[in-house]
Amino acid sequence: MKWIEYLKKKKLSLEEYGSFSLKVGPSIYIQEKNLLPKVGYYCKGIGEFAGIICDENIYKKFCKDLSSSFKSLVFIFSGECCLEEINKIIENIKKANVDFIFGMGGGKTLDTAKLVGFKLNLPVVAFATSASTCSAWTNVSVLYSKDGIYKDIINLKKSPDLTLVDEDIIIDAPKELLLSGIGDSFAKYYEARLVYESGMFKEDVFAKIGIFIADEMYKIIKEKNSELKEIIYANIALCGLVSTIGRESCSALLAHSFVNALSIIPQARKVLHGYLASLGVVFQFKFLNRDFPELQAYKELGLPLSFKDINICLKEKDIEEVSKLILEDETVCNFYPDLNLNKIVNVLKQLSS
C-alpha cells in the first residue's frame, strides 16, 4: 500500500498507525438523553475512585450530580492542554491514587484527561459537554503551549475506555458550540474527500471505509431535517471515526494545518476550533483554485467565509509567519506537492480582504 511506504519514509511505527491492528474509537460509546444521573451505573467495572478533570464552570454546573456516582477527587483544568498543566495534574493524581480518569468538558479538557490517563496507564472516561469537536472519540491529544500555541499531536494508541454523551446537556449548551462541531465536520469531510479524489489511496481499504463514513457524516450535517441527536452523533462519533480510521489514508490536514498555524495569533486563540476549521475549508478551496461548494450552507449556518467574520485582523507579518508554519507541515506537503510560500500568502491575503 502506498500509505505504508509513506509511513516507512517518515520512520513511523506501522503498528502504532494501525497497518496490522485497527483501533478506531472508544471501547464503549453511549449517547442518550438524561444520561448524567446514570454515570455511576455506566462506570461500574471501570473503577471506584475517579480523578475528575474539568474546568471551573463545569465543576459548578455538574460535579454535585457526580458526587453520588462514585468516590472522586476533582482537579480543576486551567484551560490549556499543555505540558505544565498535564504534569501538575499527574503529580496530584499520583498522590490521590485514583482508579480511573474522568474527563468532563470540551475538547481541550478531554484531550488533557486522555493524555493524563495514557501517561499513568489508567482507564479514561470522556464525558462530552459539547459537540464542538470529536475529542471524546479520538485516540490523540492536541498539545499546546501554556499560552495556547499549537505544539504537537500526541498519539495515545487508544481512545477512551468509555465515552458518555448527554444530549440534554449538549442541547442546553450555547448553540455556537454545536455549530463549531458542524464546522469541524465540514473540515474533516473535505480533507478526506479531496485526498481520496486525488487517487493516492483509492486501493486502500481504510481509505474506502473512511470516505464512506465521511460521506455519511456529510449527509447528516447538510440535511436540514436531521434531528439534533443525529448532528451530535455526526460531530462526535462520525467525525471521530474519519479522524482515526482515515488518519493516514484519507486525510490531508490542510484545513487543520491552517488552524494550528493560526494559533500564534492571539485573536485566533479566542475563536472556537470548529469555526477556524470551517474557514480552513475555504482556505483549502481557494488554494486549489476551486469554487467553494458550501457558500450557501455557510451563510445559513453563520460559519465564517473570511477572517473578518471571526474578528481576526492579520498584519503582513502575521500572514508571513502563518504561511511558513503551514508550509512546515510535512503531511500536508506530501499531499499537496505544489504547496509554496507565495501561494499560501496570496490565499491568506484573499481571506483577509
pLDDT top residue among 333 and 13: 333
Euclidean distance between CA atoms 1 and 263, whole angstroms? 34
The percent of residues above 90 in pLDDT, for the chain, comes to 67
Split at pLDDT 50, 70, 90, the class of 246 is low
* pLDDT of 277: 95
Q: Of the candidates 153, 157, 242, which has an alpha carbon nearest to the alpha carbon of residue 206?
A: 242
- Average pLDDT score over residue span 195-211: 75
Lowest mean pLDDT among 8-17, 101-110, 168-177, 313-322: 8-17
Contact 66, 51 (CB under 8 A): no
The DSSP code for 309 is G
SS3 of 195-214: the string is HHHCCCCCCCHHHHHHHHHH
Rounded mean pLDDT of 158-175?
95
Residue 4 has pLDDT above 90, yes or no: no
Residue 19, pLDDT above cutoff 70: no
Higher pLDDT, 162 or 19: 162
pLDDT recorded at residue 200: 67
Element (H, E) at 299: helix 295-301
Q: What is the mean pLDDT of residues 247-252?
A: 59
- Residue pLDDT, tens place only, 67-79: 778 888 999 999 8
Write the pLDDT tens digit of every residue in 142-156: 999 999 999 999 989
Per-residue confidence (pLDDT) for residue 283, from 0 to 100? 95
Domains plus CATH for the chain? Answer: 12-174 (3.40.50.1970), 176-352 (1.20.1090.10)
Q: Which of 70, 46, 55, 184 is nearest to 112 (CA)?
A: 55
pLDDT at 250: 56
Assign 329 a pLDDT band (cuts: 50, 70, 90): confident
Average pLDDT over residues 242-270: 84
State mean pLDDT over 182-209.
82
pLDDT level of residue 243 (50, 70, 90 thresholds): confident
Write out the DSSP string of 27-65: SEEEEETT-GGGHHHHTTTT-SEEEEEE-HHHHHHHHHH
**Local confidence band at 332 (pLDDT 50, 70, 90 cut-offs):** confident
Q: How confident is the model at residue 208 (pLDDT cuts 50, 70, 90)?
A: confident
Percent of the chain with pLDDT over 70: 90
* Residue range 21-54, pLDDT digits in tens: 456 789 999 999 999 999 999 998 898 899 999 9
Question: What does the pLDDT read at residue 17?
Answer: 38
Least confident of 112-121, 270-279, 328-337: 328-337
Distance, CA of 120 to CA of 136 (rounded, Å):
19
Average pLDDT, the chain: 88
Q: Taking residues 331-350, report their average pLDDT.
A: 85
